[in-house]
Amino acid sequence: MDWRLPISKRAAPRSVQSRYRFLIMADLSALFDRTGAVRRPDFTQLLQEFSALLTDRPEAPDFADLPDGDGRVVLVLPGFLTSDMVTRPLRDFLEEQGFRTFGWEYGLNIGPTPGALAHLRSRVRELSELNEAPIALIGISLGGLLARDLAYDCSGQIRHVVTLASPFRLPTASTFEPLVRMCGPLYDPAARIERLAMPLPVPSTAFFTRDDGVVAWESCRSDDPDCMNIEVDGHHMTICRNPKVLTHLIERLAGEG
């Protein structure tokens, strides 16, 4: 799947293409529905997302009621335009419960660039060797698409994939679509987005919320009978601090091998 938009039917000179490459909107028609069949969250919902980000501070679940992580390695992939700094509280929570957690260590997540895809494959290999066993992946929003992509090519090094409000069932609809399209020219043209909704070769869990103000919630759940879909209340941007998510997340990760 080529994520780039041809400059025109009559190709511009190479020097012109190079000069304006990063100003051209990418052709991401396979990602976003433009027919209205998939409902895009309205901008009132998006404003509620930002409000929740500032005000929602729920109490974490009681550690005593949750199973122990027993040193299992978990790699956490951040959402669109966020970094390991945003996933730090989630990783700290998992560490408290006995998991060994790691960030992706690649700065801001702008999507499937060639460098990001190569780095993630190296990161999974490095951590599985450190663990001397397959590792678990948690992908937040766009990070979940990257996690599912890894599972197809690195199934021997991955034991479980968890997606948190990740729109892998394409096409989706998103209030962030303009920003994703702006980043599109940077994406790897070899990225195989058409396979993201296919059944994974490893166990998986998909969390979604109907209150999602960023992506269409329907695109965050799977038809695969081997994937556990878990619906929660709450918002997209605060899903990492959602007590129900944290409880089910621990139970799923601790219960898999």
Q: Write out the residue range of the structural domain in which residue 180 sits.
A: 14-56+69-255
Query: For 130-167, what is each residue's pLDDT tens digit?
Result: 999 999 999 999 999 999 999 999 999 999 999 999 99
Angstrom distance (rounded) from CA 229 to CA 54:
27
1: in domain: no
Q: What's the whole-model pTM score? A: 0.88
8: in domain: no
62: in domain: no
Contact 215, 174 (CB under 8 A): yes
Structural domain count of the chain: 1
Angstrom distance (rounded) from CA 104 to CA 89:
14
Indicate the angle between helix axes 142-153 and 114-131, nearest 10 degrees.
Answer: 60
**The pLDDT of residue 61:** 79
Block residue for tokens 């898999």:
256
Task: Name 133's Cβ contacts closer than 8 Å, sequence gap at least 6.
Answer: 73, 159
246: in domain: yes
Q: Which of 206, 199, 200, 203 is nearest to 232 (CA)?
A: 206
Angstrom distance (rounded) from CA 74 to CA 237:
21
CATH of the domain at 173: 3.40.50.1820
DSSP class of residue 205 equals: E
Query: For 45-65, what is each residue's pLDDT tens digit?
Result: 999 999 998 998 888 777 778
Angstrom distance (rounded) from CA 153 to CA 144:
15
Q: Which amino acid, 83?
A: S
Q: Which DSSP helix (H) or strand (E) runs through 128?
A: helix 114-131
180: in domain: yes
184: in domain: yes
Q: How confident is the model at residue 27 (pLDDT cuts 50, 70, 90)?
A: low
